[in-house]
Structures are given as structure tokens and as C-alpha cells.
Structure 1
Amino acid sequence: MNFKKNIIFLLVLCTVIRVNAQKKEGILVRAGKADTEIASTMWGVFFEDINMGADGGIYAELVKNRSFEFAKPLMGWSVKGKKIAEGDVLVLNRQENQVANPRFLRLNVNAAMKGDVGIINEGFKGMGIKKGVRYDFSLMYRQQRSHVTLYVSLTDEQNNTIAETHFKLADTSGTWQKQGMSFDATDASGKAKLNIWFEGTGLLDLDMISLFPSDTWKGRKGGMRSDMIQMLADMKPGFIRFPGGCIVEGIDLANRYQWKKTIGPIEERQLIMNRWNVEFSHRPAPDYFQTFGLGFFEYFQLAEDLGAAPLPILNCGMACQFNTAEVVPLEQLDPYVQDALDLIEFANGDVTSEWGSVRAKMGHSKPFNLKYLGIGNENWGPQYVERAKVFQQAIKAKYPEIQLIYSSGTDPDSERFRYLNGELRAMDANVIDEHYYRSPDWFLKNAGRYDQYDRNGPKIFAGEYAAHVDGKITGSNRNIWQAAIAEAAFMTGLERNAAVVNMASYAPLFANTEGWQWAPDLIWADNLNVYGTPNYLVQKLFSTNKGTHTLSASIDNKSISGADQLYVSAVADRTKKEIIIKLVNTDTESKIREITLDSWKNIGSSGKLTVLKGNLTDRNSMENPALVSPQEQDIRLKGKTATVTLPPNSLVMLKVKYN
């Protein structure tokens, strides 16, 4: 019995000693000594049309292959009816007479009743239809003779009609016209189809067959999916990088992104195959194309909506080096450089300038206030450096105020990276873009990566990063708390080094639950729903609480970057009069820390704690979108000290007001 009592006494004594030791190891935040002003662009978002991010994603068009320009002209469409003879349905190609949109569909309708002749569109993995929402149907047509009535309906998975309307095509002049009709959905479906039946007699040419919900972002006709964009707005991003990513490079130069082909009237924007169509044999996407309904004008407009700085990336005369690795000869690089100069004029130029007038005609007379421009994406080698220098010389000569962002390749540790880092610094680069897709352990070990970077050298853009867990895990299962908390620990290092790191963005941004090619991803969506991953919640917490100035947070005058599995950063928000401290505990045991706010007057007597925690394998999902979610609570301070409990595997944020 005495032996058992002694054992219990020793266990209690050890617990008391451990708790007391934790309390003694206090964190000192020198709250009266602001270190560095934090760039307004510190935390942003990076959008690329991957994983059905644009078509079938944030671009709210519901009709797949609306202009019959896919590699297979009727992909996504099926022809139905009992009164269709050979030659009644043809795909015509205008070729060089209309390069941007050469194909259209010709239908010969002969004394048809409803149900005799029709075309059906399957949408992007089906169509997401919401009960009570108005849907706007439109098409371009050319009618050679007589009048034909169109019966337009939406049917659900059981072929029940959930929306319908009909109208006559009014014009018989033989010239292209646009006509449409709106109707309300009486029920919801995540896998609806669009049915168009033709009644009467006539010869019809059809193109740009379109269906949009009316509840788009800001109610814009032909706009973006509001629930997905709201997820971005909730992050309050400081910038939005677009349009990529690897689609900027293209598989080859013919497949590269060309911004001038993405502006102007929708029917004049030239579709191309999305390079993710064929990139991964284990995730084929033969119906993945870029229609460019979401083009550069819409990206600039979205940045303005979000209050974010626009950050376009342009091709530098190099195709993806993992694919064809094509390069444009230096003597033929001028058109690529001119595209960059013209883009700056499109964004910022007066309405009397050539490209500023194009912007104005699209409905935006005021400049978009472009300040940043990326030269290439994940390019490397001397062939990149020599092309980057050509861009630098031309752009700085005409627009010295534009901050140019340069690629440092695909990884942060290789000889390629070290070569580019040296060359770009010798060029006096404004900003160097570093990418890291690495294990959670890499992120934990590299939280202090920028502690020793030159404060007077180029700024750093952490342009693409994500913690990748075991490769045997696929899809949204990769967005687990283990990855998110490792990213949070790394982000404390980015925030602590805001003197060097001016921009950072997770990648990729969006993924369709059925149409993804790459994982993990920040936000997952299907045709009706969207949810944020634990990684999203970490990004949102940092982005909405970035403060205005860094503060020193230390234990024994040392920054806290992994010692005892603890990572800490601190900032002040001089506008909101707040001190904000972020603490990441990657230990399997809880910790208690006393946080003392040094040198401040009039510290509030209470604060707010926000806690994100979970088991390492926890993830959010469509079925349980809030499994990992922030919890808030009040905390009382004792003088200038707050005693904070850090649960195992947690991100904790303390906010205290001051006067």
C-alpha cells in the first residue's frame, strides 16, 4: 500500500513540476518596439485554372462546350429525337474566316414536334441547379427560313423537369443574332442536364449556347459563382495572382496563355485546350478546355472587388520545361515583351491610349492600378535569365514603377535554385518567387528559412506552397490537419520575416471533388456546395489578422521557431489598436505559456483567444465541412501577462486591445 502511495505521490509531483516549468518559460512580446511594416500584400491568393477551377468552377457558365470548339465538337452534347435524318445535324467550320470561334452547329428541322429533334448538354459533371433561382438561357443563331420554337428545360437525375420555358426565334434575316429567355427552377439538382427541343420547320445555325444562374457574384450577368468567390472575399487577400501557374507556360508555346485572346466580346475569345487536360495519365481530363469567359479583364475586376492587388503572370518565351521545354529565339522575343508592355497599358493606361481604350470599352474607364507583374512561371536555367533580362530592360525603361517578379524555379533547395537566386540578385530583381511543395516535416524544419536573408536585397514572394502528406493519400484526403499545422508553423516564420517576405499564397486554390488533377487544394467544391479545408482556415486566420507592423516575440531573447515544438509570431495592428500573437504547438501534449506584453501602456485587461486544433488526420469534407473549425473564447490578463494553454497540435491566436 505504501508503495502505491509513493508512486502516486511521485506522479503528482512530476505533473506539478512540469506545469510549473511550463509557466516559468514565459514569452516576451516587445509590444512597444515595432520592427517592420507589414506589406498590405503579405497574404494573398493564387488562382490557376486547374482542378476545374475556372470552367466548371468559379466561372458560372453551366453549358460545357457552348461554342462546339472542343477537340471533339459535340463533346458534352448528345443529339436526340426520332426525326433526324442523315445530314440534319452538321458541325460547320469557318476556318480562317473566323479564327477565334470557327465552328457552329447547323440543324435542319423538318415539321418537328417537341421531342422529335433535340440536343442535350450534360454540363460540367452535371449542372448545379438551385431551387427558386432564376436561370438565364441565351444563344447565338442564324435562321435561314421560317420560324422555329425552342423548348428549353432542365431535368434532374431522374429525368424530372425542374425548370422550363419556350420561345420563338424572332429573326429570319439570315444574319447572326442573340436571343435568350429566363426561367426559375422549381427544384434543386446537382446533376441536371439542359434539354433544347425544336418545333417547326427551318434551317438553324447555333453557337454560344449558354446558361447562367442569376445569383452570380455581385449579380453580374455571365459572371462568377458567388459562393466560391465569397470564400476568397472572406480571406481579405492582399493580392490575387493569376492566371497561373503552369497554364501560363503551356505544354508548348502554342498552348501558352495569351492574355489578348481572353478579352473583348465572349464570342471572340479563342478557346484552347487546358494543359491539365493531358498532364496526368492517372487523372485524365479529355473535356478540360479554357473558354476564357474568365479572362484578364475579369481577373482585374475580381481583384478590384476583393480589394486585392492584381498580380498577372506572363509567358516569357518559354514553354513548360517538364513538357516540351520550347523557347523562343531571343531575336523573336519582341512580341512577348510587347505583350507585357501592352498589358500594363491595358491595366493602367489613359482611355485615350490604345489598350486603355480597350479596357474602357469593356466598361472600366478607371485604371486597375497594376503595380506587380510576374515574368514567367517556374522557369529556370540560363535560358530564363537571359530572357528575363530582356523583359526587365524594356519594362523598366517605360514603366520603372512596376515591381517585377521573377521565377526561382520549381523548388527551394536545388542547384537550379541557387543558380537563379544568385543571378536574380545580381540583376537587382525587385521580387523573387519561391515555390515549395514539400512534406510537413520540411515546413517545420524551415520555419526559420528567412531569418538570415538579406534585408536589403530583393523581396521574397512565397508564390506557391503546400505541405504534402504521404503520396499514397489522394484527393481531398490530403488536406488533413497535419499538413495545415505545419503550414501554420512555417507561416509564423514568414510573418516574423516580413522585412523580407512581402507576399505569400497557398496553391492550388480550388478543386472540384470529381474533376481534380492535383491535391491538396485550399478549397473544394462540387456543383452546389463549397467548403474550406483546415489549410484554408489557417490561411484565413493569418490573412485577416496580418496587422500592420511586426513585433519581437522571444524566449530568452531568441525567436521561437521550433524549440520545444513551439512556433510564434507577433504583430501590432496600429489601425485597430490590437496586439496579435500567433502560437503553433506541434507537440502531442498541451503547453502552458505566460505571455508578457512589454513596454505597452494602457493594455486591455482582457483579450480574445482563437483556437484551431484537431487530430493530425482530421479533415473537413462535404459531409462534415466544419470538423476542424476555429473556437473563440475570452481571456483575462493579469497586468500585462496572459496565461495561455496551447492544446496538442494547435494554432492559437491571442488578440489584446491597447490604447
Structure 2
Amino acid sequence: MEPNKRFFFSLLLLFTALYTPAQTTHTIQVQLNEPRATIRPTMWGVFFEDINLAADGGLYAELVKNRSFEFNVPLMGWKEQKKGSTGGSLLVINRGKEKENNPRFLRVKNAVTGNYGLSNEGFRGMGVEKNKYYDFSVIARSVKDAKIKMRIELVNAKGEVIGSTSVEPSGAAWKKYKAALLSNGTDQKAQLNIWFEGKGEVDLDMVSLFPRDTWKNRPGGLRADLVQLLADLKPGFVRFPGGCIVEGRDLANRYQWKKTVGNVEDRELIINRWNTEFANRSAPDYFQSFGLGFYEYFLLSEDIGATPLPILNCGMACQFNTSEVVPADQLDPYIQDALDLIEFANGPVSTKWGKLRAAMGHPSPFNLKMIGVGNEQWGPQYVERYTVFAKAIKQKYPSIQLVNSTGPYSDGELFNFLNDTLRKMNADILDEHYYKPPEWFLKNAARYDTYDRSGPKIFAGEYAAHSVGIPNGKTKNNWRSALAEAAFMTGLERNADIVNMASYAPLFAHVDGWQWSPDLIWFDNLQSYGTPNYYVQKMFSNNRGTTVVPIQMNNAVIAGQDSLYASACIDKPRNELIIKIANTFHQTKRISFVMNGSMDQNAKATMQVLRNDEMNAVNSFEQPTLIVPVNKDAEVKNKTLNTELPPYSFSVIRVKL
């Protein structure tokens, strides 16, 4: 460096040192003895929709795609295999009314020479692990007493056999055959081969392969790692099954819960409405087998200690697609579905639907308390149909709370119409949705501070900070979006007297099969990880508390003051104060938390901090724990906790009272 430049640079450093003021310490007051609102157990929950291969190919652990040959293209996912074989053939047979829900089966004719068979590609491949068992099953029958042996193989992406077994159907009656395979290799993109030995014909249906290590080791169950991520959230509720799939692109393709219960082989497959929704993420092989149906949703909710919140079609298809509606005087079947669902969940075993629940393995009720009428409908036609639903449900089940749509937007004409109308109707719970840029979440952290305290309760049913757009793949689960959501959620908690529930959306996404981004949890065929947004949700839900107390700076709520956002609550069972605070600034904030009220002068405290210096940072399969909470100890002296909040951070502080 030249001498003159060196001199002026040194002078600049000296000037900066002399005239940069010492960092300000912010004093934040917490009023321990002034309870403001009760936080309901349902405050933080999860919303599940079968989008992004979240059910088939995801949470539902079935590895075989199109196992019952019911896709629009009956052999989609299957491939004929010939190794020197001549004379082998396949025939898809439709039984029609003989078996309306699952009419098709496959007739395989085998020749004596060579090897003839089928392979199934799975859902973007099959994830299998070394030294793990996989349970194969098929419903089959022999045609004209043919002696056909089926040799079952797991093959890796190179075509090498990594596991094998066999079954031999016999007799003219349909029967389920089972066999186990032990994999001697790990592969993300494995496939299933079925080779036929012997001359003659055999009929196949419901060809299935499940990992034995499912959640709670239930045969035909759910993928254990994905359920564990949900259980770790300790959600207060599970909203299911959607989302737009409740509506369907048209009413013929709407979700009908009665077709998702009973024997799995009797459930009627339909196309998934996300199949061709986005041209850039088309998934023509995306269907709903309903192996994950309403019984399994209720069971999942019970397993993870969450209240079930089922959403039902109200006689309206998706208004972004066909806007098809059922005339208001023809709603009886839809209303009866709602009443029967409550009976299925809560009714005694002496009732029709309670008896079915018991037959499926759950004699005791599921204790259903809430039900959603419609998903994301809007306009007068929704009010007309909701009115009929509400009257019928409340008349028979007055204690059931109804969740009502306020449309797809958080403001504007459509929102205002429903918000005003449903409030005048004394609706129970209004479901608000917002997919917005991170800046919106920061600006709206005080959204509910001025809401009418005597009106309906609020369900923040679908929200996510979208850093770029919807949903073009450039919208990532980065730290910027997660921090903005954390700031916004402090406003939800502060207003827990009217905001009773909240859930991020969507929940799951397959890295090779997604339609929408961002998403809370990403997975492939073997692995999964939580995003920074996931850990924000976990920090809130694992530190729920029971009672909101005031937390203020300069005698005002903390919703953007000097880039800070905060809420506070008491955890009565543990006798602890919980402070949640986000620092959205690029510099450290020095804070003095002053606790006013009944507590010891000195107390132990802990801090859990989620942060990253790079706002575009993301978790990934390569770095799944790049952004995760870090714990450290803290201490209260003279009812004051002095600490520093790192730049771009979200912290949860627990203080023993």
C-alpha cells in the first residue's frame, strides 16, 4: 500500500473507533403476573395434503406404483420383460360391476421357453436398504389349474439382484400370497422384477411391496422416518386430507372419504388433482391409491398426540379449475357424508360407521372435535352451501366446531366478503391462508392485534414465506423465509385468544416428484430432512406454553421495533417463562429482559438459538443440519436476564420461575 493511502486508511480506522457509539442495550419488560390469553393445545399443528408425492411415494410406504392396474394407462409403471422368451403375453381384464372399486386385473400367459416377466419402477425408483426385510404380497389365482411359479426379485439400479423370493398361486379362487425378501444392498433406485416359471396363465391383482420397518411396525403402514419428523414437532392437530385435493378439479374427482376406508383392496383409486396442474412439473403418473385413507389419518393423529381436523367437500370443485358446483337443493349426499364421518370417528360400535371403525381395529372413538366445511372456496355460492352444512351438523352434533373458508387470499374483495359475512353468521373458526414474500410476514406481525376479540376464532391454516414466486422451483426454504415466519408467528402467539391454530403448508415434498415449493420437509426414497422452516415450527410447538403474558419494549408490543419481534408465555406445568424473539437485523442486539412479577431474584435459564449469517442458506441432503437450533445456558440475576441476540437469529429462552 502506498504511504499516503496507508496514512488515510489508518486515520479512517481511528475516526471510526472514536465516533462509533457503543451498542445500545434494549430493555424489554415481561409482566409475569398479567395473563392475557390461554394458549390452546391445538395452537401449532400440521397440514397434510397429497401433493409432491406426499402420500403414495412418500408417507404411505408402498413401493409398487399402480399395484392394482387402475391408472388411466393400466400398465403405467410396469414393463414387460423377456429374456429369450417367446409366447408370453399380458392382458388387462376389466370386471366392471363385479368389482366396481377395483375392476382391473392382469392376466399373464407364460411360455415354456426362456424367461418372461414384469418389472415395476416404483415411485421414482424404490428405496431399499441393506439387511432390511421387505414384504411382498399379491392377490392371485391360477387359470385352468396352471402351475405357475412367480420368482420375485429386488434389483438395484445396475440390474443386479439384491434379494429374491417366490410364491406359487394355485386354485381358481382369488387368494393373497405373501413372501419376504431380505435385501443385500442399499439403493435409491431399485426395482421389482416378477418372473414366471411354468406353462399356462395366472391372474394378478394388488401387487405390493412394503418395508417391514414401518411406523410402529404396522404391516402395510407408514414410512417411519417421515412420521418421526411429524412426531418430533409435537403437533396439536393434523389437518387432512387437503387442500385442493378435497375439491378435485371437478366434482367427479373430489375426495370422498367413504372410498378410503375398509379393506385396502376395495378402495377406489382416483387421479391426483396435482397430476397435471403445472406444466413445468407435470406428473402424469400421480394418482391416489388411498392406502393412506381416513382411518389411517385418524390413527396417525392419535399416534402423535394430535387432534384430527378432517376437511370435507361442500359441493364445490376447485374454483381455480372448473368452478363446478352441486345445486344447493342437491346437497344431501354431501351433508350425509359429513354426518357419517362424525359417526365413523366418534360413534359407538353399534352404529353403522362406528362398527366399521371397530372392524378396522379401533373400537374406541377417535374423539373428533372439529371438521372443515370446504377447503379454499369463496363467494356467495360458498356461503349458501356452508349455511346448509352448518345447520345440519350443528343440529345433530352441536359440540362439533366448524372450520370455514375465507378463500385463498389474506385480503381483498373475496376475503372481505367472506370475513364480513361469516362473522355476521357467528361462524366458529375462520381459516385464513397467506403465501407471501418474507417482507409481508414482517410487516404483518401485528395483523391480529386489532382483530375483534368477540368474533370467530382464527385458524392460520396455510402459510409460507415465498422468497421468489409460486411455485417455480426458485422458491427455496431458505433462512430468510424461515426467519420471517418466526417473526410472524410471535404475533400469532401474542394473539392466542383469537388465533387458536396455525399450520405451515405444504408439509412434504419428494425431491424427484414435487409440484410446489417451498415445503416443510424434503425427502427422497431413503432419506429426509427438516428445512429451517421446520425447525422454526418445532421451536414454537415444542415450547408451546399455556398462558400468554405481556412482553414490551418502550411500552409497546414488539412487532418490528428495531427489527425485533417477540412474544412471551408461561408454561404452568413446568413453572417456566418462555420468551420467543427474532432479531431480523444484520447486527447483534444486546438485550436486558426485565421480569416483573413473582419469581426468584436469581434463576437458571436456557437459550435455544436458530441462526445463519447467510439469508439464502438452506438445509439439504448434503448438509441436513446446516441450520438447526443450538442450546446454551443463561442466567437471571435480580430478575434480569442480560444476553445478546446474534444477527439474523430466532431464539427461545426458558426461565425457571
TM-score of the alignment, normalized to the shorter chain, above 0.5: yes
Query: Does 1:133 pair with 2:132?
Result: yes
Aligned to 1:644: 643
Query: Does 1:47 pair with 2:48?
Result: yes
Deviations 1:317-356 (A, max 9, x none): 0000000000000111010000000000000000001110
Aligned to 2:268: 270
Aligned to 1:579: 577
Deviations 1:593-635 (A, max 9, x none): 1001111222652211111111110000011111111111111
Could you say if the C-alpha distance between residues 476 and 161 of structure 1 is closer, same or farther in structure 2, counting changes exceeding 3 Å?
Answer: farther
Aligned to 1:11: 16
Deviations 1:554-575 (A, max 9, x none): 0122100001111000111001
Could you say if the C-alpha distance between residues 142 and 472 of structure 1 is closer, same or farther in structure 2, counting changes exceeding 3 Å?
Answer: closer
Letter in 2 for 1:583: I
- Computed over aligned residues only, the root mean square deviation of the Cα atoms, in angstroms, reads 1.6
Quote how far apart the aligned CAs of 1:257 are: 0.2
Mapping for residues 237-248 of structure 1, pairs under 5 Å: 237-248=235-246
Pick from 513, 516, 527 the counterpart of residue 515 of structure 1. Answer: 513
Quote how far apart the aligned CAs of 1:6 are: 7.8
Mapping for residues 87-166 of structure 1, pairs under 5 Å: 88-112=89-113, 116-144=115-143, 145-166=145-166
Mapping for residues 154-233 of structure 1, pairs under 5 Å: 154-169=154-169, 171-172=170-171, 174-233=172-231
Mapping for residues 292-371 of structure 1, pairs under 5 Å: 292-371=290-369
Question: Matched residues in 2 for 1:82 and 1:53: separation?
Answer: 36
Could you say if the C-alpha distance between residues 473 and 435 of structure 1 is closer, same or farther in structure 2, counting changes exceeding 3 Å?
Answer: closer
Quote how far apart the aligned CAs of 1:190 are: 0.3
SS at 1:478 equivalent: coil
Quote how far apart the aligned CAs of 1:201 are: 1.9
The answer to which of 204-213 and 625-634 deviates more is 625-634
Cα pair 2:458 2:498 within 8 Å, conserved: yes
Question: Matched residues in 2 for 1:157 and 1:398: separation?
Answer: 56
Unaligned runs of 5+ in 2: 1-5
Deviations 1:508-543 (A, max 9, x none): 000000100000000000000000000001001001
Quote how far apart the aligned CAs of 1:13 are: 4.6
Could you say if the C-alpha distance between residues 2 and 324 of structure 1 is closer, same or farther in structure 2, counting changes exceeding 3 Å?
Answer: closer
Aligned to 2:402: 404
SS at 2:481 equivalent: helix
SS at 1:419 equivalent: helix
Could you say if the C-alpha distance between residues 335 and 4 of structure 1 is closer, same or farther in structure 2, counting changes exceeding 3 Å?
Answer: closer
Letter in 1 for 2:555: N
Pick from 448, 451, 466 the counterpart of residue 449 of structure 2. Answer: 451
Question: Matched residues in 2 for 1:595 and 1:286: separation?
Answer: 55
User: If the length of structure 1 is used for normalisation, what is the TM-score?
Assistant: 0.96
User: If the length of structure 2 is used for normalisation, what is the TM-score?
Assistant: 0.97
Cα pair 1:553 1:559 within 8 Å, conserved: yes
Percent identity, aligned pairs only, is 55
Question: Matched residues in 2 for 1:435 and 1:515: separation?
Answer: 24
Aligned to 2:3: none
Unaligned runs of 5+ in 1: none
Question: Matched residues in 2 for 1:208 and 1:342: separation?
Answer: 28
Letter in 1 for 2:378: W
The answer to which of 160-169 and 310-319 deviates more is 160-169
Aligned to 1:72: 73
Question: Matched residues in 1 for 2:11 and 2:281: separation?
Answer: 62
Deviations 1:113-169 (A, max 9, x none): 5xx110000000000001111100000001121322111111111111111112322
Letter in 2 for 1:642: L
Aligned to 1:429: 427
SS at 2:274 equivalent: helix
Could you say if the C-alpha distance between residues 92 and 43 of structure 1 is closer, same or farther in structure 2, counting changes exceeding 3 Å?
Answer: same
Cα pair 1:112 1:199 within 8 Å, conserved: no
Pairs aligned (count): 650
Quote how far apart the aligned CAs of 1:477 are: 5.7
Could you say if the C-alpha distance between residues 558 and 176 of structure 1 is closer, same or farther in structure 2, counting changes exceeding 3 Å?
Answer: same
Letter in 1 for 2:362: H
Cα pair 2:146 2:202 within 8 Å, conserved: no
Question: Matched residues in 1 for 2:50 and 2:469: separation?
Answer: 23
Cα pair 2:602 2:635 within 8 Å, conserved: no
Letter in 2 for 1:622: F
Cα pair 1:467 1:484 within 8 Å, conserved: yes
